[in-house]
Amino acid sequence: MHKLPIVLISLLASIAAIAQGDDAFRVDQTFGGEVPMEEVAVTLTEAISGLERGESEFVKIKGKITEVCQAKGCWMILVDGDTYARVTFENYGFFVPTETSMQRSVVYGQLSERVLSGKQAEHYAQDAGSQSALELHGEVKEYSIVARAVQLENRS
């Protein structure tokens, strides 16, 4: 007899969560050091804006991983809309699984802008498992994060 109100409340809570876009990040795996809990994660776009204002401290950045080094997981690409940054890991102290692609992530590290030579960009394309190596001429600008820690959310 009392089960109906409980079921109704549970159903309404589920509908409310869907309506609010309950897409809170849920940590399933952590690599590297600790990610400060008190710091709020910002989007990559917000972090780049801070970089352009001269901020260069460690920052907690959220985004989606779209590519990972297929050789050993020594870098990944973090994306926020049309903006991306290549994430490497502080002192090569840790790597991420090569099947990490298409997972949401929070990265704690230092953001910078850097210039890759055509050979470096080609090397990264090969590491990503590209069937045909890119033939790039000249320099390629990209954002880079040297991560102290990475949190991943499983694709569920």
* Average pLDDT of the chain, as a whole number: 80
| Contact criterion met (CB below 8 Å) for 152 and 35 | no
Q: What percent of the chain has pLDDT over 70?
A: 76
- For residue range 15-53, list pLDDT tens digits in order: 444 444 457 888 899 999 999 999 999 999 999 998 888
Q: State how far the Cα of 44 lies from the Cα of 20, in Å rounded to an integer.
A: 22
Residues with Cβ within 8 Å of 30's Cβ and at least 6 positions away in sequence, in order, are: 149, 150, 151, 152
- Provide the phi-psi class of 151: left if phi over 0, else alpha when psi is between -120 and 50, else beta: beta
pLDDT of residue 130: 60
Q: Determine the residue type at 147.
A: A
Find the length of the chain: 156
In the chain, domain spans:
29-152
Q: What is the dihedral of CA 57, 58, 61, 66, to 10 degrees?
A: 110
Domain 29-152 has CATH 3.10.590: no
Write the pLDDT tens digit of every residue in 117-130. 777 777 777 776 66
Q: Give pTM, 2 decimals.
A: 0.74
For 63-76, write each residue's pLDDT tens digit.
Answer: 999 999 988 999 99
- Taking residues 125-153, what's their average pLDDT? 75
The token duo for 7 is: 């079921």
